Structure 1
Amino acid sequence: MKKIAIIGGGAAGYFTATNLGKELGKQTVLFEQASLPLQKVRVSGGGRCNVTHACFDPNELVEFYPRGKKELLSVFHKFQPGDTMEWFESRKVPLKIEDDNRIFPVSNSSLSIIECLLKEVDKNQVETRFGETVLSIQKKEKSFVINTKSDYYEFEKVIFTPGSSIKSMDLMKNIGHKIVKPVPSLFTFNIKDERLKDLMGISFEWAEISIPQLKMESEGPMLITHWGLSGPGILRLSAWGALELNKLNYEFQICINFIQQELEESIEFLNEFKIENAKKSIYKINPFSFPKRFWNRILEVQKIPQDLTFSHLNKNQIQNISKELTEGIYNVKGKSTFKDEFVTAGGVDLKEINFKTMESKVVPNLFIAGEILNIDAITGGFNFQACWSEAFLISEHLKSSLL
């Protein structure tokens, strides 16, 4: 019987294995149902891997987590983004902080992160079993029996880091854990609207978005997609409103300010622009920083004639254009999730975890980390950071208790 089973070959599972050291490593087996490990690491950040975020104060860092804020505070005091950077850079993976504070490998390739993790796991002599799905976990008096598609195994301790699939949650439920019903946390808004039709790819450097029904608001870059709206501003709303939007069956209204001006400010701005550009065609000159195609679409929706110059814009037209740009109402009907970077709210109830060690309070010698927990964050490297930090706590505890 070996000492440790790690179930799940994602960020949390691998980071635990990398930090166990050789003595515990050679007594550890890592199970991963896919044929290749670290799938989300591979696709994160468009294949560049958004390792973490340059927020080095735990008190500020937890504010990016709609669920898990209170529990993660002590975790981040022990291992935070600065520690993550030092960990990878000390293993010859240089990292860089981008303008938006997201942190990536200098190579701009997730393979740098993956190869580093694989190398460290090999160095620790951890046995890896890919393509081997765990079907059940049984707790005996002093051990666990793990049943996979190919065999039965027995271990002293189990580290459960398989991600947020329903099957994984069922395994935890069967062993005695309470599961908070999972719902999507990061998703884009499906909107069919003439104002957005055929404008896919147009982006706004900064927009203010609110859901009046829920009294929620967000701001940040925004993008028009095939199906509606995406971008950090939208994704933040989806994360913080995950539970409420699920209850609404993803049908609700949003209000968008595209120009960071209030209605009256916009009216005043357009009146001044009208005077300065009186003889110029309204369709040929866009007064704002967003792409001209969106400006023209707003004019079309307002039925502004193609041959009009700015001097001919009347009071009502200026008011209606300003209202569209500062208080545009859009009907959301449905969501679209990221298939490979899917994040959920829900999972193992946080009250059942000891966040000093990540050990289960329900099942002794069972440790749980990663997306299987009812913890999630907005985009920007925060979900990975929770995985790195939780995994580090597990490995440190096991080294102190088993060696």
Structure 2
Amino acid sequence: MKKYDVIIVGGGAAGFFAAINIANLNPELKVAILEKGKEGLQKVKVSGGGRCNVTHAEFIPQELVLNYPRGEKELLGPFHQFMTGDTIEWFENRGVELKIEEDGRMFPVSNSSQTIIDCFLDEANKLNVEVLYSHALKSISKTKGVWLLETNQGDFSAENIMLATGSSAKIWNMLESLGHTISQPVPSLFTFDIKDERIKDIPGVVALDVEVKVVDSNLFSEGPLLITHVGMSAPAILKLSAFGAIELATRNYKFQIEVNFIKQSLDDCIDNLKHIKHELAKKTVLKSAQFEIPKRLWQKLVLASQITNDTRWADLNKSQLEQLASQLTEAVFDVTGKSTFKEEFVTAGGVNLKEINFKTFESKIQENLYFAGEILNIDAITGGFNFQNAWSGAYVAAQAIAMHK
């Protein structure tokens, strides 16, 4: 049986970050990572389209937590201990410079996730962290205050262990046997499947600033909306999918959304259209896109308002004008299912947050058992927030473990 001071199960972002910080804070500790795959950091590799969306340029903890449908209250303390600025400094101290993009997402200047992977592997090697690949965990038990880990390649023991395995049903089952309760996982980041003539054949069209709400619910979001081959995506939709993860699962992903493409009330829109009708009297409605709506989307909404190709603004009757206003401000679409958002497999669900001490990320049920990342019932909207949760949790836990001896 191999003995270590600290064993981290899971060779992903949170696992490597924790191991590196433990070894850096207390070089006397013998630290190992057990990774079930042939290589680790695979989620880092595909994040942000292969560029790795390291974090988000939000530097106020009270604002940052608002991006977490689950974990908002619990993460406020940890974010005061290790925040976005600390993440930037951590990477810069190791030669990795980050840049901020217009939407606030932060990436390595290299635009390659390999930069982050190389940084972790180099640091782990430098600090003598043992990384053991192809080691799948089979069981966890505790004897006389020592953790025993059985893997497919032998047994290990450690005084402290951290689980950073992400959304793993197998690991969650083991934790239930240790007394933890698990919130059952459901998808959290996904796009909406919609079959509708109004968005047919116009994939790639982006409405820059819309309001979307789920009919018969309190779910609401705003931001850019992208029309895809199968429906709708982009932040306005992804925020809804994250904050509505549990409710939308109970509806079996069949529901209606109402889209306000111009963020105006119906009455204000009607007044504006009357003014436009007077100003552009001789022009055809179809070819006169308004309210900064993309031309192809405008034409679809016009045709859906019972307005023909050659109808001029001057010839719009009251019914057509009201229908157009309705399409612009309260268009209802039937959602028939969901699709995964790129390779960003994020779930709501995991270890019950009431069973975690968020000053240390240690289990309240089992001493010397720590957690980091998505194994906990914490998830965020897209944009680098899930990684920031991983960095903050892993660092806070690392500090507690490093000072434990």
TM-score, with normalisation over the residues of structure 1?
A: 0.96
Greater shift, 7-16 or 41-50, is seen at 41-50
Any gaps of 5 or more consecutive residues in structure 1?
none
CA displacement at 1:151 relative to structure 2? 1.5
Residues 1:305 and 2:308 are matched in the alignment: yes
Q: Is residue 186–residue 344 contact of structure 1 (8 Å, CA) maintained in 2?
A: yes
Mapped to 2, the partners of 1:270 and 1:120 lie a distance apart of: 61
Q: Which residues in structure 2 correspond to 1:57-136 (within 5 Å)?
A: 57-136=60-139
Mapped to 2, the partners of 1:395 and 1:218 lie a distance apart of: 36
Mapped to 2, the partners of 1:232 and 1:30 lie a distance apart of: 35
Which residue in 1 is equivalent to 2:6? 4
Q: What amino acid is aligned across from residue 385 of structure 1 in structure 2?
A: Q
Mapped to 2, the partners of 1:301 and 1:214 lie a distance apart of: 26
SS at the partner of 1:112?
Answer: helix
Which residue in 1 is equivalent to 2:53? 50
**Percent same amino acid at aligned positions?**
50
Q: Which residues in structure 2 correspond to 1:190-209 (within 5 Å)?
A: 190-209=193-212
Q: Is residue 26–residue 125 contact of structure 1 (8 Å, CA) maintained in 2?
A: no
CA displacement at 1:24 relative to structure 2? 4.4
Q: Is residue 23–residue 129 contact of structure 2 (8 Å, CA) maintained in 1?
A: no
Which residue in 1 is equivalent to 2:295? 292
CA displacement at 1:26 relative to structure 2? 6.5
Cα RMSD of the aligned pairs, angstroms, is 1.6
CA displacement at 1:176 relative to structure 2? 2.1
Q: Which residues in structure 2 correspond to 1:167-206 (within 5 Å)?
A: 167-206=170-209
SS at the partner of 1:401?
Answer: coil
1:223 corresponds to which of 200, 203, 226 = 226
TM-score, with normalisation over the residues of structure 2?
A: 0.95
Which residue in 1 is equivalent to 2:240? 237
* 1:335-391 deviation digits (Å, cap 9, x = unpaired): 112363111111001111111111111111111111010111111211111110111
Which residue in 2 is equivalent to 1:151? 154
Q: Is residue 25–residue 124 contact of structure 1 (8 Å, CA) maintained in 2?
A: no
SS at the partner of 2:212?
Answer: strand
Mapped to 2, the partners of 1:300 and 1:339 lie a distance apart of: 32
Greater shift, 331-340 or 259-268, is seen at 331-340
Q: Is residue 306–residue 320 contact of structure 2 (8 Å, CA) maintained in 1?
A: no
* 1:177-203 deviation digits (Å, cap 9, x = unpaired): 111111111111111111111221111
Which residue in 1 is equivalent to 2:328? 325
Q: What amino acid is aligned across from residue 370 of structure 1 in structure 2?
A: G
* 1:102-158 deviation digits (Å, cap 9, x = unpaired): 222122221222211111111111111122211211222221221112222222221
Q: Is residue 53–residue 380 contact of structure 1 (8 Å, CA) maintained in 2?
A: yes
Greater shift, 379-388 or 27-36, is seen at 27-36
Q: Is residue 26–residue 124 contact of structure 1 (8 Å, CA) maintained in 2?
A: no
* 1:294-342 deviation digits (Å, cap 9, x = unpaired): 1111222233222222222222111101101100011112211236311
CA displacement at 1:284 relative to structure 2? 2.3
CA displacement at 1:41 relative to structure 2? 1.4
Q: What amino acid is aligned across from residue 8 of structure 1 in structure 2?
A: G
Residues 1:379 and 2:373 are matched in the alignment: no
1:33 corresponds to which of 32, 36, 42 = 36
Greater shift, 158-167 or 56-65, is seen at 56-65
Q: Which residues in structure 2 correspond to 1:382-397 (within 5 Å)?
A: 382-397=385-400
Q: Which residues in structure 2 correspond to 1:350-369 (within 5 Å)?
A: 350-369=353-372
* Alignment: residue pair count: 402
Q: Is residue 188–residue 242 contact of structure 2 (8 Å, CA) maintained in 1?
A: yes
CA displacement at 1:30 relative to structure 2? 0.6
SS at the partner of 2:282?
Answer: coil
Mapped to 2, the partners of 1:253 and 1:82 lie a distance apart of: 40
SS at the partner of 1:180?
Answer: strand
Q: What amino acid is aligned across from residue 172 of structure 1 in structure 2?
A: L
Q: What amino acid is aligned across from residue 61 of structure 1 in structure 2?
A: L
Q: What amino acid is aligned across from residue 295 of structure 1 in structure 2?
A: W
* 1:184-240 deviation digits (Å, cap 9, x = unpaired): 111111111111112211111111001131122110111111221111111111111
